[in-house]
Structure 1
Amino acid sequence: MEAFLISTGVVALGEMGDKTQLLAMLLAVRFKRPAPIVLGILVATLFNHAAAGAVGGWVASALGPDVLRWVIGISFIAMAGWMLIPDKIDEDEAVSARYGVFLTTVVAFFLAEMGDKTQIATVALAARYNDLLAVVAGTTLGMLIADVPAVFVGDKIAKRVPMKLVHAIAAGIFAVLGVLTLFNVGKLF
């Protein structure tokens, strides 16, 4: 349960103001069809985070516990710094709508998540916790918690939520996870 809850919280906070949240808003404004957009986000996230989680599981089994602790701890601290850098949607990530709203969303989100903060966090969380299903379910729920409201509310969220504060909180959580991991503090996180 711990892996699920931590994964959900970290990704939900980390996703605020992220390029995929901006992409969700953009798709909602462009297509005005929330159901296929939300389903596309779900499918893309499940596939992307399952692959990322599998990589994290492999990393955990390939490295010894001491090396793994340092890799994960430093990764979480690096994620804390990365959280403080705001995201923008890259022009080259735009996907043509000729394939329909659902498929456009799946492809756009899958590609946007490649190498993104939440994908890297999923790898680290899967390496930290030996529960792939809980991590993938948690990170997917975290994505949906952040992105589904963006679909329904659009840019009103961006105008009312201070993204710098959300990014600072998420960075703090990643930093704490990193320090606790480096100092090998039991199962707090």
Structure 2
Amino acid sequence: MIQEFIRSLFLIFMAEMGDKTQILAMAFATQYRVKKVLLGVLLGSLLNHGIAVALGSYLSNIIPINTIQIIAGVSFVGFALWTLKNDKEDDEEENNKSRFGPVFTVAMAFFIGELGDKTQLTAITLSVDAVYPIFVLMGTVSGMILTSGLGIYVGSKIGDRIPEFTIKIVSAAIFMFFGVTKLYTTLPPIYIQPIYIGGFFVVIGISVYLLLKPAIDARRRGELSPFREAALTLYEYTHQIKEAVDEICLGEGQCGKCQGSSCIIGYTKALIRQVIESGEFEKIGEWQGFPESLEKNFEEGKVVESLSITLTALTQHLSQEEMLFIHKVRQALEMVLFGEKIPFNGDLGVYFEGLKMRGTKTAQKVIQRVEELRSA
């Protein structure tokens, strides 16, 4: 019972490491709250794998158990090779907003995206000889949630430094081990002969080479896989602004005792930290203008850089909550540079016109830097 749960969780977890499930989860996490994304993953996977487990349990009643074991062994070998496939998934699901809300949108994306995929087929394979199919379902769904959650967390913390290639090799090796073991113990003795075993591994070796060659060539060219691209995007989005704002802080050496969120830059740092750590936007204190901290000698160049990065982020595909967060940061930095909040209606051109009306060199620096960042 518990063994079936753990095996199912482990195999699904390894199968989806670096696969499109994590790419989808990470992309959705830049549009919706993490909790809503994971709830959507739960519902979508539960429906998808529920169908798979039901089908697998039905097949076990009409197909002899030895035949099922052989099919399972062949399937696991196939899943191992499938894991090595160089995926180039379309991102249409992530790039379109849905009128049905975040949970339904994510659930449908995962349900449709996993139809006929190796995780659904793995769920079928695991359930055909399971004594407790419900525990197989619990394990596969748990594996999907853990993989998605880890993808979001790791992507936001270390960006493109994820050893995706190594993970794919390890995942494929695990599936291959289960597949070969099943075949060795269930195939008729006539097929367990050196000539057949040698031929099998020659075919597997050639297949592995052909499947890995595109990924190896891409790595030599310095190309990023879809998973690493998604991780890098999420990492940059959550950390670039933080790093830039951290640079503004004068430190206790120049500033004296830290005022924390009573200082306009301290408030901004706390706001960013809250979003990064919890994945949610929450108001930190009340906006009171911070008159004392506005008199501090913050380095103009660093504030210009931070505001420019923040304005560039506003041109990206953001959720409503993320927009609120970015605007809070923007307004704080505007107060430091110009002593006032500048209206922003979503049109960067109109905003630039408002900056130009201030007639200052600082305003020109911000406009120039934003244009450089957008063209980079």
TM-score (norm 1): 0.89
Q: Deviation per CA, 1:29-80, whole angstroms, max 9, x where unpaired?
A: 123x111111111111111111111111122222112211211110011001
Q: Percent identity?
A: 34
Distance, in Å, in 2 between the alignment partners of 1:157 and 1:84 is: 23
Classify the secondary structure of the residue corresponding to 2:61. helix
Higher relative contact order (CA 8 A, sep 6+): 1
Distance, in Å, in 2 between the alignment partners of 1:84 and 1:155 is: 25
Q: 5+ residue gaps in structure 1?
A: none
Residues 168 and 141 (structure 1), Cα distance of their counterparts in 2 relative to 1, 3 Å cut: same
Shift of 1:108: 0.7
Distance, in Å, in 2 between the alignment partners of 1:157 and 1:117 is: 27
Alignment pair present for 1:56 and 2:66: no
* Letter aligned with residue 12 of structure 2: V
Residues 129 and 157 (structure 1), Cα distance of their counterparts in 2 relative to 1, 3 Å cut: farther
Alignment pair present for 1:66 and 2:66: yes
Distance, in Å, in 1 between the alignment partners of 2:154 and 2:102 is: 18
Residues 158 and 118 (structure 1), Cα distance of their counterparts in 2 relative to 1, 3 Å cut: farther
Larger Rg: 2
Whether contact under 8 Å (2:98, 2:105) holds in the other structure is: yes
* Letter aligned with residue 63 of structure 1: I
Distance, in Å, in 2 between the alignment partners of 1:35 and 1:146 is: 14
Q: Could you say which residue in structure 2 is the equivalent of 1:130? A: 131
Whether contact under 8 Å (2:65, 2:129) holds in the other structure is: no
Higher helix share: 1
Shift of 1:157: 5.5
Q: Could you say which residue in structure 1 is the equivalent of 2:12? A: 11
Classify the secondary structure of the residue corresponding to 1:130. coil
Give the alignment of 1:100-119 within 5 angstroms: 100-119=101-120
Give the alignment of 1:132-151 within 5 angstroms: 132-151=133-152
Distance, in Å, in 1 between the alignment partners of 2:86 and 2:125 is: 21
Q: Deviation per CA, 1:141-167, whole angstroms, max 9, x where unpaired?
A: 111111013234545556122111111
Whether contact under 8 Å (2:25, 2:148) holds in the other structure is: yes
TM-score (norm 2): 0.46
Q: Could you say which residue in structure 2 is the equivalent of 1:80? A: 80
Classify the secondary structure of the residue corresponding to 2:29. helix
Shift of 1:8: 0.7
TM-align CA RMSD: 1.8
Distance, in Å, in 2 between the alignment partners of 1:157 and 1:62 is: 49
Classify the secondary structure of the residue corresponding to 2:60. helix
Shift of 1:137: 0.6
Shift of 1:4: 0.7
Q: 5+ residue gaps in structure 2?
A: 187-376
Shift of 1:82: 0.4
